Every structure is written in C-alpha cells, then in structure tokens.
Amino acid sequence: MAEAVALAGSPPRRSSNTWNNWGRLLVLPYIVVFLLLVLYPVSYGLWLARDPQSYVKLFADPIFFRTAINTFIFVVVAVNLKLLIALGLSGFFSQTRWWIKIVAMLFILPWAVPSIPTILSTRFMLNPEWGVINTLIFKLTLKDGPNWLNDPTLALSLSMLMHIWKSLPFWTLILLAGRMSIPSEQYEAASVDGATRWQKFRFITWPSMKGLYLTSTLLSMIFTLGDFNSVYLLTGGGPADLTHVLATLGIRYLRLDQIELAMASIVVALPFMLPLVYFMMKRLSK
Amino acid sequence: MASVSFSNIEKKFGKVKIIHGISFDISDGEFVVLVGPSGCGKSTLLRMLAGLEEITGGEISIDGKVINDLDSKDRDIAMVFQSYALYPHMTVRDNMGFSLKLRKASAEITNKRVGDAASILNLDPLLDRYPRELSGGQRQRVAMGRAIVRDPKVFLFDEPLSNLDAKLRVAMRAEIKALHQRLKTTTVYVTHDQIEAMTMADRIVVMHDGIIEQIGTPLELFDRPGNLFVAQFIGSPSMNVLKGTLRQVEGRAWVESQNHQWPVGTLVRARDGQTVAYGVRPTDMRLSSTGQGIAAKVIVVEPTGAETELLVEVDQTPMVVVMHGRTDAQPDDLVYLEVSAEKSHVFDETSGLRLD
Amino acid sequence: MKKGWSLRKVSIEAQLLLVGIPVVLWTMIPVYHLFLFAISPRDKATSGKLWPENPTLQNFEFVFGQKHFYLNHFWQQLGNSLMIAVATGLITLFVATTAAFAISRLKVRGGRTVMNMALVTYFIPAAFLAVPMYKTMANYGLLNNRWSLILAMVTIASPYCIWVLKQASDKLPWELDEAARIDGASPLQLFWLVYVPLMVPSLVAVGTYALLLAWNEYLYGFLLLSKETDLPLAVALGNFLAADDSPWELLMATGFIYALPPAAIYYAFKRYMVSGLTAGAVKS
C-alpha cells in the first residue's frame, strides 16, 4: 500500500519546476564529461576501426596471434588465481589478532603505492646480471639464475605475478567486506551444531559470498584486460614482442602510427568483453 | 492561525486511486486528528497539504487561498515528522533556527524566536547538543520546537509519537495538547492510534480506504458511531458486534441474537425480521447482581487494577465486558449481563450504516 | 572459554602464522627492494645484502638537487603530478557530487540512464580507452597540455565516484529533505547546507580515490604529454628505462619519493577509504 514506506519519508514525486530544473542542471557536468570524453572517443574509435582491411592486416601479423593467446592466458589464469587467493586471505584477515591487523596494514601497500616504482623495482630484482634474485641464487647454488625476462614464458608469468601482486589487496578487501557482512550468529549456531571449519565455509560462507565472488571475477577480468603497466613496465612486451597483451599491443600500434590497427586490435576483443559487460550491468544496475 | 479546506481531494499513484473525493473543513485554531488503519490515506492527505505529494484532483485551501500550486515553503506550514527528521550535523539551536537562516533573518530575531520556543518546550539546557545525544522524547520536542519557530499558519503532525515507548507517548500527548492550548495554532494531526485521537482532538476524521467514514468530536464518535467501521475502530477494547435479527412487534423492539433478546433504544429504521448488526461496548455492560439478564459463561478474567476485563461467551460467541473494580467471578462461572437500551447500537448488516 | 594453550589453539596460531609470514614477505619484497636501492650508493645496491653497508641519503640529495640529466626537471615534474592529481580530485568531486545529488535526492528524470552511462564507462578497460582518447585529445587540440591528462583522469574516475556517492546518498533518510523543503530550502540550499555536510566521509573517500588515481597514472600521461617540463613524475620515471646505463639508484630514490604521498594518504584516511569504497561494492 502506498502508505507503507520502508525508509522514513518517501522520495519526492513532484513536478515542481525549480527542483526539476536544478536536477537537470546538476547532472549536466557529468553528462558533458560523458559526451565529450566517452561517447566521442568511443564512437570515433569504432569509426577508425571500420575498415575490413585493418583486420586482414591484423590477423596476418604474427604478433597478434601470440598476443591473443597471451591475453587469454593472462586473464583466465591471473584473475582466477588472484580471486582464489583473495578468498582465502579474506578468511585470514577476518581473524582478530593484533598482529594480523598489522599484516593487513602492510598488505595494502601494493595497492596504495603507484606501480611505476614497484614494477621497476621488481624489474631490477630480476636483472640477470646484477639483480638481487640471481645474485642470491648464485650465492646459494654457485650457478647462474635464469634470464628471467628474456624467456617469454617466464616473462609472461612474471607479468601475471606482478599484476596479482598489485591488485590482490583490492579484491581481498572486497571479499573481506563480503565476509564481514555475514552475521556471526550463523557461525555460532553452526559451532553449536558441531560444524567443522570446512563445513562452515561450505554451508555458510560460500553461499553468502558466491554472488560477490562471481561479480568480482567478472569485474577483475575487465580490469585485467586493461592492465598496461604490469606488462609494459616489466617486459616492454618483449622479448621480441612475445609477451604482449591486447592492452600493450594497441599502444604499440599507436606508437607506430598505425592507429587503424590499434583500434582493430581493441575491437577484436569486444566479442569477449561485451558479454562480460552485459552481465556486470545486469548485476549492478539498479 | 488559519482555516484549512479540503475540496474533492483525489490522489492517484499511477493508475491506482487511493483517495476518493475527500472534502472537509478545519476552522481556525482547531486541533483535528486524521485517524485510520494503515493504508487508509491519512498520511498521504497530510503530505498533500504539506506539498510533499502532488494533488491529483481537487483543491486544498489555507485561509481561503488555494495552495495546490504553491511550493511547500510558500504554504506557511510546519511539519513534525514521525522520525523527527532533525539535521544530524546541526545543534539543537541550529536545527530550530534553520528555517530562519534560510530566509536570512537577523541573528537577533533568530535568537529570540529560538529562545522562546526552547523555553516553552524546556529545551534550554539542550540547545548546544547534537540530535544523536538526545533521547527520543527530547528529539521529538526539538522537532516541535523547529515547527514553533516557523510560527506557521498550520501545524502538521505525521504520527509523531509512534516511535516512542508507551509511557513517553502518554506524557507527550499531554504536552502537545497543552502546546496547542497555549499557541492556538490550527493543527492537523495524523495517527493510527485511536486513543491519541480521542484524547487530543477537537474533532476526529476517521478515514478508511481513501474515504471519510465519519467526522465528529471524540464523544460524538464514541457515543453515536455512524457506521460499523467507526464503531469498531473507536474505543478500546472495541465494541462487541453480534449478528442478529431485528424484531419490532407492537411498539416494542429488540434484536434477537445468540438465542437471546437484546434491548434496543430509540427508533430503528428497519423492518421487522431484517438482519442487523447489534453493537454494545464492553464498558456498557454490567454483571447482574440479581441473576437477571443475558446468560454468559466466563472464559477469562483479567484484572487490570482499577478495572476488570472479562472475556465471556454468550451462546458460544465471545464478548468482552469491562467493569469497574473487582469481581468474584471465575472462569467457567455463569454470569448474567445487563445491557441498557440507550447504550446499544444497531447497524445495517450489509451497508454498516447506523440504523437507530 | 578456557584460557591457556591447548594443542588445538597452538595449531591454529601456527596455521595463521604460516599464512601471515609469506603474505608479509610477498607484499614487502618489491617495496623493500625499492627502499634498499634508494639508500644504497651506486655500486653497492646490487650486492645482494639485506641492508646496505653504507646506507646513504646521497641519492635523495641528487634527486632533490636535480643533479642528473634525467632529473633536470624533478621539481617541476613533481609539481605537475601534484597539480594534476589535485585538479583531478577536485573536478571529479564536483562532477560526481552534483550528479549523485541530482540522481539520488532530486530524483531527476533519466537518472537511471545516467547511472548506466557511468557504469558502462567504468567497464571499459583503461588501456582500451587510451587509444581513441589520444586521438580525441589531438582533435580537441589538447595534446601536450596538462589539461588533457586531467580531463582524461576525471573521465576515468567519475563513474566509480558517482556510483559510490549515489549508494551512500540513498542511505540518507528522505524526511531530511522533506523537513528542509518545508523549512524553506531551495534546491541549492538543500545541497549545500544539508546534503554536503552529511556526505563528508564519502566525499573524502571519493576525492582521495580520484586524486590517487591521477597521481598513480602512467599510461595516459605517457601518451598525452611529451614535453619534459609537462610530464608528471610517473612518466619521467618511465623515461629512465630508455638507456642501459641509467642511474638505477637515483631512479629508485625518485620512485621512493614518488610512492610516499599515496602511501601516507592511504594510511591517514584508511578508515574513510575502506568503508567509503567497499560500501559501493558490497550490495547488501
């Protein structure tokens, strides 16, 4: 019935002119931003990608094929690994110990600090001649460590690790918040019923967090597609352009003044991205 | 102070009409209570008066001037909300003075008005506190103070006491009533609690499903409810209602129900043999000391100190009797009920309208 | 609960430590390495020791004194980073707060559409948007103008900010708006005197988020700006990679300086950030 309102009062339903006009005026700044800086670039980009020839050239480029595979591996492996670890760590951080609080404070660092210094720092650690890691390996085993960034498989894996390092805190925090919103009485009742830790997870924690986990996975895939820094700053796309992902490939074409190819490489990702975006919109749009 | 007039008010939400042509007038200085069950439209009506809901049909006037198209702030009204709606980030003083600040009134005027309102409501020691530091009753008083500072033509109250505990509610009822006697501002008060309506109103408007069931003074509604709905809504415990048949034979009239004859007072506008609804209030029945009356079996005895509430059964139909003082009656006892004809009510069984 | 150490309790603590210690190591290694390099003299940085023999602040001296080819414009670039970050934070705050107020409190018509527009933008991977954005800025004539970076950052930061602010706004009771309207507030007065003061924690979280997003950004700065005096510090750092004999220790020292403000801000505003930002993510 119209009288039963959940929140105190109810949202305004008037067509008073002043209030409507102010509403339109106040939402205008964002609309301007959107039109000039989202709609225009996106439309323009799609227009630049209209030439079928670009796609022919793109598919003929061996780098592209490799890049597609790299991107697929990167997104699927890195995201799922990351979310899985985040799920586990969210359990860890939900324990109340004084020292865990300190660990949590440190744990935020990768997310808080900018990527350039930390990725470059890692890059130097991996330097085959004077990097800390190989120096330590030599000290311990008297053998030379691998040339980390010169082996395409290792290099790609390290980029993924770098990406995970940077974004893990954010997702752990999200999943932790999800965990904290589960009322503790459910766990207490389960304890009284004699549930083991695993059973508590399976029957209380997981059902509550399933939705959030799925949403986070989808969202993280979108973000990971856009992670330029983790690859570019660590490997530069090398060796020999073998560790490019779509994010860096587009920029590579751009720097070579081949903008149509750049846009084409992005458009090619759309069939995979659009379903993701669609699902996310459905879940979050209210 | 001003008169308020509702003329053929209708309200639709989309296609659903929830208020169907309501009209009534409120005179200057009157304290009118809109009462009714949840969903009857009373809050919506109040909010239309306040300018918080659009008026889909009809006109509302204050002091003769139609206000349909005026914005809330131009209607010269003040409202006290159910959840107080105090600004959490302002002190009591600033909360009360907010409307003056918006009008850019001078500090002098603001301080005087806030000070006056605060002393009327005993808020002086709380002026520099924040809402979160106050109790429910104190917050309600601040909300009233805010309304008083406005010095409006009409006060609007939207179920202001619903969030308070029972004891506080009783105290606040008296305070609001005293305030009205002092300020004499026209007041429109919405509640679902008929006790609040009975104790505070000059006149009560009983609403149900978007229409007015009856308008009258509290005693009018109590003594002569115009229909079954009002009869059962006003008065607590509610009126006992029995289905029966009206008998009118040779100038005598009574209602046959539950194998008994129930006395009927004045002329009843109905035929002999017509099915009617017979009503008698719990307080209008007495336990006979002479063994004469309508036989009833006692089911439950509930002494409340000054009174005793008895649940009895007359021919398997439960009825409630409220009597002064104590009784020796025990569950399963047989007692006899005395009902006086003047205190009975007869209603049409289908339309619910009063027949006597 | 019994106090004291049962076998079960010890095993639980051990398991937690078994997780906690690797987590700390994993988290701190690149950061510590950065710090290590920054305080090591040139040749000793790579010696593999856990703490330098002769820790020195000399590298920082070099950086602050702009005493190297790559560091010629350090202070200018640091200033650029600061200016771009603050401008982004403020403009994003303005755009997002007005939009959230209009959509959530004024219930402007088409509000849902605007929210969806914002949401879709949020789902465009930043690196993908960068390519057409570069051309767009070129078309607008804004290349090599720091405002191109600011506007790009505002575009990227706004959607999440609007979303978070809208969620937070929806939690404010409607009766407050109604009471204010009856008290005589105009829309602007409602916004400034009632809405904004009540939204301060969320505004801080959101403004800080936008500010840090811009401070930490590399790719867009890299694409949109090329004059050395225009560059934010992030991009200037990237330029160190160009040559093989770059002064790595100076780079790390600069990087360390560059990394300090965000870390400090996160720790100062920790409570706001966590509650403000996750409130949007976890839908109850």
In chain A, what are the domain boundaries? 17-48, 52-284
Chains in contact with A, counting 3 or more C-beta pairs less than 8 Å apart as contact: B, C
Q: Which two tokens stand for residue B2?
A: 């001003």
Mean pLDDT of all residues in B44-72: 92
Residue B112 is predicted with a pLDDT of 94
> HEC states along chain C?
CCCCCCHHHHHHHHHHHHHHHHHHHHHHHHHHHHHHHHCCCHHHHHHCCCCCCCCCCHHHHHHHCCCCHHHCCHHHHHHHHHHHHHHHHHHHHHHHHHHHHHHHCCCCCCHHHHHHHHHHHHCCCHHHHHHHHHHHHHHHCCCCCHHHHHHHHHHHHHHHHHHHHHHHHHCCCHHHHHHHHHHCCCHHHHHHHHHHHHHHHHHHHHHHHHHHHHHHCCHHHHHHCCCCCCCCHHHHHHHHHHCCCCCHHHHHHHHHHHHHHHHHHHHHCHHHHHHHHHHHHCCC
CATH value of C73-281 in 2.40.70.10, 1.25.40.10, 1.10.3720.10, 3.40.50.1820: 1.10.3720.10
Residue C8 is predicted with a pLDDT of 80
Mark yes or no for CB contact A3/B85 under 8 Å: no
Q: How far apart are CA B248 and CA B262, in angstroms?
A: 12
Residue B12 is predicted with a pLDDT of 92
| Residue, of B215 and C14, whose pLDDT is higher | B215
Averaged pLDDT of chain A: 88
Choose from C172, C174, C182 for mutation: most chain B CBs within 10 A: C182
The share of chain B scoring above pLDDT 70, in percent, equals 100
For chain B, give every residue range classified as CATH 3.40.50.300. Answer: 4-233
By the 8 A CB rule, do B208 and A3 touch? no
Q: Which two tokens stand for residue B32?
A: 């009118």
Q: Which two tokens stand for residue C229?
A: 């005096």
By the 8 A CB rule, do A166 and A107 touch? no
* B21: region left, alpha or beta (phi > 0 left; psi from -120 to 50 alpha): left
Strand partners, B318: B313
Q: How far apart are CA C209 and CA C255, in angstroms?
A: 20
Residue C4 is predicted with a pLDDT of 64
Model pLDDT for residues B161-200, shown as the tens digit of each residue: 998 899 999 999 999 999 999 999 999 999 999 999 999 9
B322: contact with A, CB 8 A cutoff: no
Min Cα–Cα distance to chain C from B145, Å: 12
Q: What length is written for chain B?
A: 356
Q: Which residues contact C46 (CB under 8 A, 6 or more apart)?
A: A127, A130, A131, A132, A135
For chain B, give every residue range classified as CATH 2.40.50.140. Answer: 240-348
B293, pLDDT greater than 60: yes
A117: contact with B, CB 8 A cutoff: no
Mark yes or no for CB contact A8/B38 under 8 Å: no
Model pLDDT for residues A82-123, shown as the tens digit of each residue: 999 999 999 999 888 888 888 988 998 898 889 999 999 999
Residues 214-243 of C with CB under 8 A from A: 215-216, 218-219, 223, 234, 237-238, 240-241
Mean pLDDT of all residues in A181-198: 88
Q: How far apart are CA B78 and CA C213, in angstroms?
A: 46
Mean pLDDT of all residues in A71-80: 95
A4, pLDDT greater than 50: no
By the 8 A CB rule, do A148 and A243 touch? no
For chain B, the helix, strand and coil percentages under 3-state DSSP, each to the nearest 5: 30, 35, 35
Confidence of residue A2 (pLDDT cuts 50, 70, 90): very low
Residue C26 is predicted with a pLDDT of 92
A48: contact with C, CB 8 A cutoff: yes
- Count the neighbouring beta carbons within 10 Å of the beta carbon of residue C145: 16
* Half-sphere exposure of residue B299: CA atoms within 13 angstroms, side-chain side: 12
* B152: region left, alpha or beta (phi > 0 left; psi from -120 to 50 alpha): beta
B70: contact with C, CB 8 A cutoff: no
- Report, as ranges of residue numbers, the positions in chain C whose pLDDT lies below 50: 282-284
Mark yes or no for CB contact C179/B85 under 8 Å: yes
By the 8 A CB rule, do A71 and C2 touch? no
Residue B188 is predicted with a pLDDT of 97
Residues 127-146 of A with CB under 8 A from C: 127, 130-132, 135-136, 139
Pairing outcome for strands B294-303 and B307-314: antiparallel
Measure the CA dihedral C96/C102/C107/C113, to 10°.
-50
Strand partners, B189: B33, B157
Residue B253 is predicted with a pLDDT of 85
Chains in contact with B, counting 3 or more C-beta pairs less than 8 Å apart as contact: A, C
Residue A8 is predicted with a pLDDT of 47
Query: Chain C contacts of B52, Cβ < 8 Å?
Result: 178, 181-182
Q: Which two tokens stand for residue B6?
A: 């509702």
Q: For domain A52-284, is the CATH number 3.20.20.70?
A: no
**Structure-token match 């069950």, residue found:** B37
Q: Which two tokens stand for residue C227?
A: 């004059």
By the 8 A CB rule, do A91 and C13 touch? no
A280: contact with C, CB 8 A cutoff: yes
Mark yes or no for CB contact B39/A14 under 8 Å: no
Model pLDDT for residues A108-163, shown as the tens digit of each residue: 889 888 999 999 999 988 888 888 888 888 888 888 888 888 889 999 999 999 99
Confidence of residue B272 (pLDDT cuts 50, 70, 90): confident
**Structure-token match 């009239």, residue found:** B253
First to last CA, chain A: 22
Mean pLDDT of all residues in A241-268: 91
Rg value, chain B, Cα: 24
Q: Which two tokens stand for residue A34?
A: 């959107």
The CA distances from residue C136 to A43, C147, C187, in Å, are 10, 13, 36
Quote the ipTM score. Answer: 0.86
- Count the neighbouring beta carbons within 10 Å of the beta carbon of residue A111: 21
Residue A213 is predicted with a pLDDT of 94
B16: contact with A, CB 8 A cutoff: yes
Q: How far apart are CA B244 and CA B38, in angstroms?
A: 30
Q: How far apart are CA C263 and CA C35, in angstroms?
A: 13
- Count the neighbouring beta carbons within 10 Å of the beta carbon of residue B13: 15
Residue C283 is predicted with a pLDDT of 41
Residue C274 is predicted with a pLDDT of 65
Q: How far apart are CA B239 and CA B256, in angstroms?
A: 18
- Count the neighbouring beta carbons within 10 Å of the beta carbon of residue B223: 14
A6, pLDDT greater than 50: no
B139: contact with C, CB 8 A cutoff: no
Chains in contact with C, counting 3 or more C-beta pairs less than 8 Å apart as contact: A, B
Nearest CA in chain A to C135: A41
Q: Which of B79, B88, B89 sits opposite C182 (nearest CB)?
A: B79
Q: How far apart are CA B263 and CA B260, in angstroms?
A: 10
Nearest CA in chain B to C188: B102
Mean pLDDT of all residues in A166-172: 94
Residue A35 is predicted with a pLDDT of 95
| Strands annotated E in A110-229 | none
C136: contact with A, CB 8 A cutoff: yes
Q: How far apart are CA C235 and CA C163, in angstroms?
A: 30
Q: How far apart are CA A9 and CA C173, in angstroms?
A: 7
Residue A88 is predicted with a pLDDT of 92
Nearest CA in chain B to C189: B102
By the 8 A CB rule, do B346 and B356 touch? yes
Q: Nearest-CA neighbor of B37 among A1, A122, C61?
A: A1
DSSP B190: E
Mark yes or no for CB contact A14/B41 under 8 Å: no
Model pLDDT for residues B2-33, shown as the tens digit of each residue: 999 999 999 999 889 999 999 999 999 999 99
A1, pLDDT greater than 70: no
By the 8 A CB rule, do B205 and B189 touch? no
Q: Which of B82, B86, B102 sits opposite C184 (nearest CB)?
A: B102
φ, ψ of residue C111 to 5 degrees: the values are -60, -40
Q: Which CATH class is domain B4-233?
A: alpha beta
Min Cα–Cα distance to chain A from C120, Å: 7
The CA distances from residue A26 to A265, C108, C150, in Å, are 38, 9, 21
By the 8 A CB rule, do B320 and B282 touch? yes
Q: Nearest-CA neighbor of C176 among A14, A16, A22, B81?
A: B81
The CA distances from residue C117 to A29, C9, C78, C156, C202, in Å, are 13, 52, 34, 12, 21
Query: Chain A contacts of C22, Cβ < 8 Å?
Result: none
Q: Nearest-CA neighbor of C206 among C126, C280, C108?
A: C280
Mean pLDDT of all residues in A244-271: 91
Residue B132 is predicted with a pLDDT of 92
By the 8 A CB rule, do C234 and C74 touch? no
- Count the neighbouring beta carbons within 10 Å of the beta carbon of residue A128: 14
Largest CA distance in chain A: 81
Min Cα–Cα distance to chain A from C173, Å: 6
For chain C, give every residue range classified as CATH 1.10.3720.10. Answer: 73-281
Mark yes or no for CB contact B73/C179 under 8 Å: no
Helix (H), strand (E) at residue B60: strand B57-62
DSSP B238: P
CATH value of B240-348 in 1.20.1250.20, 3.40.50.720, 2.40.50.140, 3.40.50.300: 2.40.50.140
Helix (H), strand (E) at residue B77: strand B77-80
A6: contact with B, CB 8 A cutoff: no
Nearest CA in chain B to C175: B85
